[in-house]
């Protein structure tokens, strides 16, 4: 090597060592500062409680319940009493008179019956008064009171549009509740997945820091051996390269943890709904070791999933709503036969002196000819029922498929975690042996780095497999709608 080459190599080596000395390497398990030590590890249950309490999209779903209550209140308003007032004055002719009519109507849910009561008065204002052919307009001085009831016998008897509206609105309340339940399952699963991603990112960062600590910890020993002539200078340079490489991996792992914390903060919120960024000090010490699901629990969940999943129950409630429409359309195809019974009594002096009130019974018959409106609505309702039946059949199949798929994912992740743990243990042992060989002078930094990198990658695969297992359990809970 030329003199210039030797000088450049020495300058490069000194610069690399100086950069390494300026950056104090973190240890494998760096103790957090006192403030961080006081932080409790963030538990999954804490995140899920935050989702239930203040997650915005879940709050938006809860507004559907308020809308359902408003729809029911509006439907019940169809049975509010109504007051009608009508006044007529005839002036400027031979006959001059005034009439007033006040009617109060109260629809009821009892077979569609309507109660009514009223008051009317008719008075002449000149000598002509009220013409004889309008004799029914004239009342005694104090007017006439009346009351009665109207009852539909066929059409609008068993059901009418007002009672159908209430039944649909009443069914809308459980539908709104099921929408909330479905949203809760979805967002709780999403929160669990983001939580385990965050914990896994923390473990990946710990592994990267552990690798960096190994390289930095032996750098001084390598330098001493090079000075004694036990190792060639290239070994120290190679170790410096490894340190720089592992520092870069630590930086990437820190960014991964930051990204995972940001994603988790979308679900982890305070009582006012503000996002909370979890800190590194809140990371659990490790991912919990996977455990197999109980066969008895799996059997119970498979049988109960159809009854618990909100999608199936929602379609069932929607079908009941369409069944109300079908029942109403069938009823509207019948002829209308309405029976009315009313009593009236004139008050005060006048031409009509009655000791007892007059009682009037009437029958009204309305026979539809083409009835295309009701027939068309009946066809729509039948088609809607057929559509929902098919959707229900698919929803049940979908639930069973989700349960099978989630269970398969749990079992696969469990097996992967066990195999990854075996690989990690073997890789650690091999890396430890390679380090011992290096210390004895029977290996190189390149071989040590490769063994340590393989051990680290195996440890990361354990982290990934465990995270996948816990995310699969979250998906399984959502698929079976477990509390």
Helix (H, G, I), strand (E, B) or coil at 106: strand
Higher pLDDT, 227 or 286: 286
pTM score above 0.75: yes
Interatomic CA distance for residues 242 and 222, integer angstroms:
13
Q: pLDDT grade, residue 352 (50/70/90)?
A: low
Q: What is the mean pLDDT of the chain?
A: 88
Residue 371 has pLDDT above 50, yes or no: yes
pLDDT class of 355 with cuts at 50, 70, 90: low
pLDDT at 363 over 90: yes
Nearest to residue 477, comparing CAs of 269, 309, 296? Answer: 309
Residue identified by tokens 């059997």 is 299
Does the structure show a pLDDT above 90 at 449?
Answer: no
Q: Could you identify the residue written with the tokens 């001493």?
A: 224
Confidence of residue 73 (pLDDT cuts 50, 70, 90): very high
Give residue-wise pLDDT tens across range 228-287.
887 888 888 888 899 999 999 999 999 999 999 999 999 999 999 999 999 999 999 999
The closest of 455, 464, 51, 45 to 287, measured between CA atoms, is: 464
The Cα 236–Cα 216 span in angstroms is 11
Q: Give the per-residue pLDDT at 92.
A: 82
Q: Is 44 helix (H, G, I), strand (E, B) or coil?
A: helix
Is 80 exceeded by the pLDDT of residue 42?
Answer: yes
Q: How many CB atoms lie within 10 A of CB 30?
A: 12
pLDDT digits over 130-170, tens only? 888 887 888 888 899 999 999 999 999 999 999 999 999 99
Nearest 5 degrees, angle CA 149-CA 150-CA 152?
145
Query: How far is 147 from 125, CA to CA, in rounded Å?
Result: 28
């Amino acid at each position: 090597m030329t003199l210039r080459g030797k000088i450049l190599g020495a300058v490069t080596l000194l610069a690399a060592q100086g950069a390494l000395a300026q950056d104090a390497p973190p240890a494998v398990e760096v103790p957090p500062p006192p403030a961080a030590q006081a932080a409790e590890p963030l538990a999954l249950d804490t995140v899920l409680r935050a989702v239930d309490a203040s997650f915005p999209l879940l709050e938006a779903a809860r507004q559907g319940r308020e809308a359902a209550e408003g729809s029911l209140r509006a439907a019940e308003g169809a049975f509010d009493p109504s007051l009608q007032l009508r006044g007529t004055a005839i002036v400027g002719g031979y006959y001059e008179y005034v009439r007033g009519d006040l009617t109060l109507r109260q629809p009821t849910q009892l077979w569609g019956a309507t109660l009514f009561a009223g008051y009317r008065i008719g008075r002449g204002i000149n000598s002509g008064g009220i013409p004889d052919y309008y004799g029914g307009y004239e009342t005694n001085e104090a007017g006439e009171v009346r009351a009665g009831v109207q009852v539909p016998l066929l059409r609008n008897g068993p059901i009418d549009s007002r009672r159908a509206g209430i039944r649909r609105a009443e069914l809308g309340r459980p539908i709104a509740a099921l929408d909330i339940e479905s949203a809760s399952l979805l967002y709780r699963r999403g929160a669990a997945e983001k939580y385990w991603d965050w914990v896994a990112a923390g473990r990946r960062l710990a592994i990267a820091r552990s690798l960096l600590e190994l390289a930095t910890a032996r750098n001084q020993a390598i330098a001493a051996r090079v000075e004694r002539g036990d190792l060639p200078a290239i070994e120290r340079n190679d170790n410096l390269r490894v340190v720089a490489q592992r520092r870069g991996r630590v930086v990437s792992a820190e960014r991964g943890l930051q990204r995972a914390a940001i994603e988790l903060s979308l679900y982890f919120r305070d009582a006012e709904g503000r996002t909370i960024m979890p800190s590194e000090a809140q990371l659990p010490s490790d991912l919990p070791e996977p455990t197999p699901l109980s066969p008895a629990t799996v059997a119970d969940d498979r049988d109960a999933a159809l009854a618990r999943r909100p999608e199936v129950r929602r379609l069932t409630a929607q079908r009941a709503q369409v069944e109300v429409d079908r029942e109403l359309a069938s009823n509207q195809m019948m002829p209308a036969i309405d029976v009315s019974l009313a009593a009236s009594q004139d008050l005060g002096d006048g031409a009509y002196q009655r000791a007892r009130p007059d009682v009037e019974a009437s029958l009204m018959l309305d026979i539809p000819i083409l009835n295309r409106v009701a027939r068309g609505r009946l066809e729509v309702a039948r088609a809607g029922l057929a559509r929902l039946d098919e959707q229900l059949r698919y929803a049940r199949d979908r639930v069973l498929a989700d349960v099978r798929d989630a269970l398969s994912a749990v079992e696969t992740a469990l097996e992967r975690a066990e195999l990854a743990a075996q690989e990690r243990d073997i890789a650690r042992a091999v890396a430890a042996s390679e380090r011992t060989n290096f210390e004895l002078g029977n290996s190189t930094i390149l071989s040590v780095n490769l063994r340590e990198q393989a051990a680290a990658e195996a440890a990361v695969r354990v982290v990934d497999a465990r995270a996948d297992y816990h995310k699969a359990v979250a998906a399984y809970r959502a698929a079976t709608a477990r509390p």
